Amino acid sequence: MAVGLPENIFITKLDAAANWARSNSLWPMPFATACCGIELMATAASRHDLARFGAEVMRFSPRQCDLLIVAGRVVMKMLPVLQRIWLQMPEPKWCISMGACACSGGVFDTYAVVQGVDRFIPVDMYVPGCPPRPEQLLAAVIEMQAKVRRTGTVMGREFAIRDTPVGPTPFDMDERYRIQDANLVQLGGFSAAATGTALKGPANHG
């Protein structure tokens, strides 16, 4: 080829260029609910300094962000809020589930806590720990950047593939728990009918 390029012009793929730009300027949306939120603050603060990896622009409006960091446990009352925030974020967007509670419910296997946000929103990266150390979150952000570079496409075609939520089917697990608990709990001298509870969840969240 006889076509000469001036020395300050590169030829690359559009996908690669977009990925390079996106991965080095991730704007996190800190969805900080509990303890992990403090470690998220520590990650952004003096000693650990998230800014070194180009992800320090914490925007508190989901409409300006492309990386959702779910830090802390998400409970029944909060989950619709989380889903709404996820829907408000513009494409392309990614999600880091930070800490044991966000990944799986953690130590809070109780009536109110959602057993892993990945059952209800898509999650790209899991950070274990209760709470994870700031170094772990930094590693996750770096890994996230690598993932964006590796799999990203300019039109977001990679998102079309994953269509099913991960994690066990919630209702199977639930039925099992219910049977298990019914065997464990033996009502004492008080009337069970008078407790006035019915097997119904918050129905109008749909």
Partner 1 sequence: MPLTPVDTLETESAEREYVWTLNFGPQHPATHTTLRLVLTLDGEKVLNAVPYIGYLHSGFEKLGEHLDFNQYVTIVDRMNYLSPLANEIAWHHAVEKLLGIELTPRCRYLRTILAELMRMHDHLLNLGTTALDLGGFTAFLYFFQQREHIYDIVELASGQRFHTSYTRVGGVLFDVNTDWVNRVRKFVREFPRVYEEVDRLLTKNRIFVDRTKGIGYLSREDAINFSAAGPVARASGVERDLRRDEPYLAYADLDFDVVCSKGGDCYARYLVRMQELLESLKIIEQAVENIPGGPVNIGVETDMVLPAKPAVYRSIEGLIQHFEVIMPNRGYDVPREQVYAATESPNGELGFYIVGNAETRAYRARTRPPSFIHFSMFPHLIRNHQLSDVVAVLGSINIIAAELDR
Partner 2 sequence: MVELSVLQERFGSGITEHVFRDNRRVDVPAAVLFDVLSGLKTDFGFSVLIDLTAVDWLEYEGATDRFTVVYLLLNMDSGERLTVQTALNLPNPTLTSVYSLWKAADWMEREVFDMFGITFTGHPDLRRILMPEEFDAFPLRKDYPLKGRGERHNFPVITRSGS
List residues near partner 1 by CB under 8 A. Answer: 30-35, 37-39, 41-42, 45-47, 58, 60, 72-73, 75, 77-78, 80-81, 83-85, 87, 107-108, 110-113, 130-131, 133, 204-206
The reply on whether position 164 binds partner 2 by CB under 8 A is yes
- Selection from partner 2, partner 1, none that 201 binds (CB < 5 to 8 A by kind) is partner 2
Q: Of 32, 102, 121, 127, which lies in the binding site for partner 2, with binding defined by CB under 8 A?
A: 121
Q: Indicate whether 7 belongs to the interface with partner 2 (CB under 8 A).
A: no
CB under 8 Å, gap of 24 or more: what pairs does 164-167 form? 165/118, 165/119, 165/120, 165/122, 166/118, 166/119, 166/123, 167/115, 167/116, 167/118, 167/119
For partner 2, the binding residue among 107, 112, 142, 155 (CB under 8 A) is: 112
- Residue 29's beta-bridge partner residues? 68
129 neighbors 160 (Cβ within 8 angstroms): no
Q: How far is the CB of 2 from partner 1 (least distance, A)?
A: 56
Here's the x/- map for partner 2, 35-74, by CB under 8 A: it reads as: ----------------------------------------
- Which two three-digit tokens encode residue 95? 């999600």
Binding residue (CB under 8 A) for partner 2 from 77, 107, 130, 135: 77
d(CA 140, CA 127): 7
**What is the closest distance, in whole angstroms, from the C-beta atom of residue 90 to partner 1 in the complex?**
16
When asked if residue 185 is in the footprint of partner 2 (CB under 8 A), the reply is: yes
Residue position matching structure tokens 């802390």 = 72
At how many degrees (to 10) do helices 35-44 and 134-151 cross? 80
Side chain identity at 125, as an amino acid letter?
M
Least Cβ distance, residue 41 to partner 1 (angstroms):
7
Task: Look at the alpha carbons of 64, 68, 71, 77 in this order and tell me if their dihedral is positive or negative.
Answer: positive
Strand partners, 127: 98
Is the distance from CB of 87 to CB of 62 less than 8 angstroms?
no
Give the position of tokens 């039109």.
155
Positions in the binding site for partner 2 (CB under 8 A): 76-77, 79-80, 83, 86-87, 109-115, 119-122, 159-165, 170-171, 173-175, 177-178, 181-182, 185, 187-188, 190-192, 194-206
